[in-house]
Amino acid sequence: MNNPNERTSSENGIYLSIYSSPSTNAQAAAKELAELRESVSLFTSAKSVKQCGKKLTVVKTTGGKREPKEITYYCKNKHVCPVCMSYAYSQLGKKLTTLLDKWLASRGSVYTQTFTLPNRPKSLAFKYKDIVSTWGYLVGTKAFQQLKQDFGLSQYFRVTEDVLDGKNSFPHFHLTWFFGSHLSSQLMADFCQQVADLWVLTANRQGIRGTQSIHQWSGPVRFGTQSYARYLTKHGYLELSFTPKDWLQKPGRHKPLDFLRVFVKTGDSSMYDTWVDYERATSGKQRFRASSQFDWLPEPKKVS
């Protein structure tokens, strides 16, 4: 489910086409994203998304001269707006690739781990609340602070991903752990196991039982940093090979954007319900979260 090595060739195809210089695929994806934005703006309750993509005229003063200038307004909504979601994820993917390359070359090791909670008959909004509070509880424990110290964990980056499937929809976290020195995979696996145990404990303390941490995916990030960064940011990508027809023949868990695509193409009201549930559940939530004082390893400023 969460193993980046299990991506299909079609996924690889679209990742590559969007990341490289503009190609026919990238143009087709951009066109479809713009069409989806137009559709979503008709029924979303998010006012800013309704306005996204509109041309505005602003007055700029240059050298004492006031001149009208046309700009495009972007809502920057990372959950609901197909265009802004896709843009935010592609920018994040590039930034993470650069960071991972630099970190591995000059700082230490990197490991990845996912966190989920068991599926319960609750609305998606409650599932968000549960996973966020479990995380908040976990990072606040003395045991986690101790683990960070023992293993020399410098920082971490959390990405929230949603897999939608009506009642079985579930949000989960992808964690990227940055260690301050080069550690063996075994040591990092030990760290992850201990954090996973803590995850179960903190979930149980909040009454969320039967946590499936044992099935979660984790592993070292050593090479293929671009593929890993794209895997982390796959939420924002359109797979052009995916069609509503495929979905109807083989329904299953999909990205929110794919649900929107099926809804827009077929008008299926159950798709709409799932999308609206998702929209409500993610409103005001953070999708990317860096640990405090996160170091992106910027280039040193040039002194002239």
Give contact residues for Zn ion (rule: CB under 5 A).
52, 75, 81, 84
DSSP assignment, residue 223? S
CB of 84 to Zn ion, least distance (A): 3
Residues 213 and 97: beta-carbon distance below 8 Å: no
CB of 75 to Zn ion, least distance (A): 3
CB of 293 to Zn ion, least distance (A): 30
Of 7 and 76, which CB lies nearer to Zn ion in the complex structure? 76
Of 148 and 261, which CB lies nearer to Zn ion in the complex structure? 261
Rounded-to-integer distance, Cα 168 and Cα 252, Å: 10
CB of 38 to Zn ion, least distance (A): 11
Of 18 and 83, which CB lies nearer to Zn ion in the complex structure? 83
DSSP per residue over 155-216, as a string? EEEEEEEEEB-GGG-EEEEEEEEEESS---HHHHHHHHHHHHHHHHHHHHHTT--S--GGG-
* Residues in Cβ contact with 40 at an 8 Å cutoff, skipping those fewer than 6 apart: 49, 80, 81, 82, 260, 264
Of 84 and 164, which CB lies nearer to Zn ion in the complex structure? 84
For the record, the structure tokens of 291 come out as 């640990």
Residue 3: count of CB within 10 angstroms of its CB: 11
CB of 44 to Zn ion, least distance (A): 10
Of 30 and 297, which CB lies nearer to Zn ion in the complex structure? 30
Phi, psi of 57 (to 5 degrees): -105, 125
